[in-house]
């Protein structure tokens, strides 16, 4: 019975997310126009792609290891927190060093400030993804679904206010995207720390090795699917660079 209720709640959440995302798309198209909306789509895709690249399958491993009790909750959480911040920092440095190249090719249309802003939220997105995977493993779908619902809801409100009311245009829309990540991740960290397990930095080498060994299988598949799904955005930007 509990499983059936979790399925219904998750399905309902997916419907609400789709509905809110649809309204956000309509509002964004009306307020920004096709050109700026395209650039915004690129700005949204960049941190998501970077998160998929740097995830390394740890999220999938967390679900399995929690469900199978292959490690303590505290150790898995501490490892996830440490790995997310470490890899995220490497990603930020890499983007900073190679921004000149990517802005002239696959990210044509973005400016340097916007690129660095959305890149800086990658560590937070990794923390968010890893904590959500732990919630999945613990069957905490109420908290899991609530957190996922916050993103499209806050994005819709933020875009309407920053772009529609304040008239900040593309710049405001990009800032909203970053602010939503910061807000939702901070909320999840606080709630997780209070209700689920204390958040600490740690590094259990054996657990990390086992987790990555297991997760790398799903990582390759998920990354390939993501890149295929978002390839059009980067290809369009690349072709524009030849104009």
Q: Express each pLDDT in 50-79 by its tens digit.
A: 999 999 999 999 999 998 888 889 999 999
This prediction has a pTM of 0.93
* pLDDT above 90 (res 87): yes
pLDDT tens readout for residues 89-139: 999 999 999 999 999 988 988 999 999 999 999 999 999 999 999 999 999
Tell me, what's the pLDDT at 67?
86
Q: Is residue 100 part of a domain?
A: yes
**Residues 149-157, mean pLDDT to the nearest whole number:** 97
Q: Is residue 6 part of a domain?
A: no
Which of 44, 30, 48 shows the shortest CA–CA distance to 169?
30
Token pair, residue 180, equals 């939503």
Which pLDDT band holds residue 141 (cuts at 50, 70, 90)?
A: very high
* CA 40/CA 37 separation, integer angstroms: 5
Tell me, what's the pLDDT at 40?
94
* CA 88/CA 202 separation, integer angstroms: 16
Which pLDDT band holds residue 199 (cuts at 50, 70, 90)?
A: confident
Contacts for 215 with CB less than 8 Å, ≥ 6 apart: 56, 57, 58, 59, 60, 61
* CA 153/CA 155 separation, integer angstroms: 5
Tell me, what's the pLDDT at 178?
97
Tell me, what's the pLDDT at 242?
46
> What percent of the chain stands above pLDDT 70?
98
* pLDDT above 60 (res 221): yes
Which pLDDT band holds residue 235 (cuts at 50, 70, 90)?
A: confident
Q: Is residue 172 part of a domain?
A: yes
Q: Is residue 23 part of a domain?
A: no
Output 120 or 230, whichever has higher pLDDT.
120
Lowest mean pLDDT among 56-70, 79-93, 146-160, 224-238: 224-238
* pLDDT above 50 (res 192): yes
* CA 158/CA 136 separation, integer angstroms: 28
Q: Is residue 18 part of a domain?
A: no
Average pLDDT for the chain: 92
DSSP H or E run through 217: helix 205-240
- Domain count along the chain: 1
Tell me, what's the pLDDT at 151?
98
Q: Is residue 11 part of a domain?
A: no
Q: Is residue 25 part of a domain?
A: no
Tell me, what's the pLDDT at 16?
96
Which of 118, 62, 67 shows the shortest CA–CA distance to 88?
118
Is the distance from CB of 75 to CB of 146 less than 8 angstroms? no
Q: Is residue 177 part of a domain?
A: yes
Q: Please give the residue range of the domain that contains residue 77.
A: 35-240
């Amino acid at each position: 019975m509990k499983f059936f209720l979790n399925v219904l709640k998750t399905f309902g959440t997916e419907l609400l997310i789709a509905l809110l995302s649809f309204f956000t798309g309509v509002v964004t198209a009306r307020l920004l126009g096709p050109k700026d909306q395209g650039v915004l789509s690129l700005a949204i895709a960049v941190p998501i792609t970077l998160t998929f690249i740097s995830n390394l399958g740890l999220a999938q491993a967390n679900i399995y290891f929690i469900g199978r009790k292959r490690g303590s909750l505290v150790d898995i959480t501490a490892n996830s927190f440490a790995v997310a911040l470490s890899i995220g920092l490497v990603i930020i440095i890499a983007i900073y060093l190679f921004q000149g190249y990517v802005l002239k090719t696959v990210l044509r249309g973005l400016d340097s400030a916007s690129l660095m802003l959305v890149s800086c939220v990658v560590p937070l997105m990794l923390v968010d993804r890893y904590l959500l995977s732990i919630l999945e493993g613990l069957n905490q779908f109420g908290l899991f679904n609530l957190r996922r619902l916050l993103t499209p809801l806050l994005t819709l409100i933020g875009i309407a206010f920053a772009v529609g009311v304040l008239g900040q245009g593309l710049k405001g829309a990009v800032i909203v995207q970053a602010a939503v990540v910061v807000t939702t991740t901070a909320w999840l960290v606080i709630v997780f720390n209070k209700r689920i397990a204390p958040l600490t930095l740690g590094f259990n080498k054996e657990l990390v090795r086992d987790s990555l060994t297991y997760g790398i299988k799903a990582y390759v598949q998920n990354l390939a699917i993501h890149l295929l799904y978002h390839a059009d955005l980067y290809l369009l930007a690349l072709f524009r660079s030849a104009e």
